[in-house]
Amino acid sequence: MQQAIPYKDLLPAATTAANSGITKLVAENPVVVFARSGCCMCHVIKLLLQGHGVNPTIFDINEQNEAATIDEFSKIIDNPEEIADRPPPPFPTVFVGGNLLGGLDEVMAAHISGELVPLLRKAGALWL
Amino acid sequence: MNFASTQFVPSRRMGICEPLPQIGMWSDYKENNYLDTSTPAILEVDSRFDNQSEDTSHGIVEPSNKYDQEVSKTNDKQLRRLAQNREAARKCRLRKKAYVQQLENSKLRLMQLEQELERARQQGLYVGGGLDTGQLGYSRTTNPGIATFEMAYGHWVEEQNKKTADLRNALCSDITDLELSSFVDDGMNHYFDLFLMKETAAKADVFYLMSGMWETSAEHFLSWIGGFRPSELLKVLEPHLGPLTEKQSLELSNLKQSCQQAEDALSQGLERLHQILSETVADGLLGEGNYLPQINAALEKLKAMVRFVGQADHLRKETLLQISRNLNNRQAAQGLLALGEYFQRLRVLSSFWTSRPRESS
């Protein structure tokens, strides 16, 4: 289980959208979860993913950085409304293979329908 | 040997020493058989005073004897005591009988009340207060969101019973596949309606949903996070879907496993919430000053409960959707019928349980 990295360590001071830390992180790691510290839903996602043999990269977001994080999200994903429309808080948020998968709802739905595993494999998170 | 002389025989019976005229040693009387039939009574009385019958050194029964007078007075006292004791015991038994009778009547009355309550709930009428409203901290009468839900749920159950009956008739009749598919969609949507209702109710009072007060007792006994457990449901339905292809069997098996994994993840997440909530509330116990910060922090944590119930219902919905994707219309219809009947039976079971005759204790 990788250490949760505090948000303040992620973003360099002055960045453009393309160079933003989050984009980089999402691109570099096959499975990324952004969650509020101590959130139990994040724990659920983690357990589900670990059950598939995946070790997700988890980033702890605290209250001050929430707005900024959401802002960053909207720069990377094609459809910013996807996040904005979700009930607050829009956490946890999961990226797989550089693309937004969604929150716990979407992860559960993909898990039940059997779509999650191929997605993880494609992103290189699974080797089996 | 005969001792004619007067002897002072310490009488333990009386605690005094007194001359016993005309009384010889005990052994003489035994030998001479001076004891007549009335002596046993006196001896009995005597034995209460003195356990050693060898000490009884006289056999004379005449009440004129001072000792004997004492003895019969004591005898009377004894008899009176015994009689009073008997009377008291009898009265005690009668009191106990009356008390038990009263208890039995109260139990019957309670059963009647419970049945009325159940009937009223099923009809969707709002009934004030469950049997343990006190633990809720507020009466349901003051929460309009819950009152609304109760009414709506009562109607939902009625609708559900109707739909189940209609589906049964449809499956027995000569019905086109298209018509059957619309029955299936209708049936599924009815369950999804319930999940939406529950979502609103959870925002009004999530603990009401979690406590199962809206469900019948048997349903609640089998429930998991405010409703049925999806993997259990699959096990119930499987034998009633009709013959399955190999692919379908495999899909069903995979679905069962996925459900199990998702349920475990949610259960563990909920346990984690328990832990966090407990720690939050317990933070700074025995400290001075007010504990409002801890209460406020705990309030925030409790909000997560609403999300858990939501996720559980979401899992139920996704599971139902996924089964229907893998089945043809007839199989899906049979599955829905089996589901409807299963819950009906659970409700009937609960009703029978509530009104069963109680064994007398």
Q: What is the pLDDT of residues B324-333, one digit of tens each?
A: 999 999 999 9
pLDDT at position A74, please?
A: 72
The neighbouring-strand residues paired with A61 are A36
Locate the chain A residue with the closest alpha carbon to B307: A41
Residue B304 and residue A112: Cβ atoms within 8 Å?
A: no
Long-range contact pairs involving B153-160 (C-beta distance under 8 Å, separation at least 24): B153/B124, B153/B194, B153/B197, B153/B214, B154/B121, B154/B122, B154/B123, B154/B124, B154/B125, B155/B124, B156/B190, B156/B193, B156/B194, B156/B197, B157/B122, B157/B124, B157/B347, B158/B124, B159/B190, B160/B190, B160/B340, B160/B343
pLDDT at res. A41 = 92
Mean residue pLDDT across chain A: 78
Give residue B263's pLDDT: 97
Q: In this complex, which of B255, B261, B266 lies closest to A51 when CB atoms are compared?
A: B261
Contact between chains at A43 and B268 (C-beta distance less than 8 A): yes
Of A45, A47, A108, the CB nearest to B315: A108
- In A, residues 64-123, which contact B (CB 8 Å cutoff)? 104-105, 108-109, 111-114
Give the CA distances from residue B251 to residues A111, A120, B234, B258, B327, in Å, rounded to whole numbers and listed in that order.
13, 20, 12, 10, 10
State how far the Cα of B349 lies from the Cα of B218, in Å rounded to an integer.
7
Return the closest-CA partner of residue B260 out of B319, B201, B306.
B319
Full pLDDT tens readout for chain B, 361 residues: 444 444 444 444 444 444 445 444 444 444 444 444 444 444 444 445 444 444 444 544 555 677 878 788 888 899 999 999 999 999 999 989 888 888 888 888 888 888 877 777 766 554 444 443 444 444 455 788 999 999 999 999 999 999 999 999 999 998 999 999 999 999 999 999 999 999 999 999 999 999 989 999 999 999 999 999 999 999 999 999 989 999 999 999 999 999 999 999 999 999 999 999 999 999 888 887 788 888 998 988 888 999 999 999 999 999 999 999 999 999 999 999 999 999 999 999 999 998 888 876 5
* Torsion angles phi and psi, residue A58, rounded to 5: -110, 130
User: How far is it, in rounded angstroms, from Cα B297 to Cα B287?
Assistant: 17
Distance from CA of A93 to the nearest CA of B (A): 15
| Nearest-angstrom CA–CA distance, A35 and A47 | 14
Interchain proximity A47–B311, CB inside 8 Å: no
In the beta sheet, which residues pair with residue A33? A58, A94
Is any Cβ of chain A less than 8 angstroms from the Cβ of B184? Answer: no
Measure CB to CB from residue A44 to each of B269, B318, B319 and give the nearest one.
B269
Q: Is B126 left (phi over 0), alpha (psi -120 to 50) or beta?
A: beta
pLDDT at B289: 78
Determine contact: B253 vs chain A, CB below 8 A. Answer: no
Show the beta-strand stretches assigned E in chain B.
8-11, 16-19
- What is the predicted pLDDT for the residue at B288? 76
Phi, psi of B26 (to 5 degrees): -60, -45
Q: Report the residue of A39, A44, A52, A120 to disrupt the B interface, i.e. the one with the largest count of B CBs within 10 Å.
A: A44
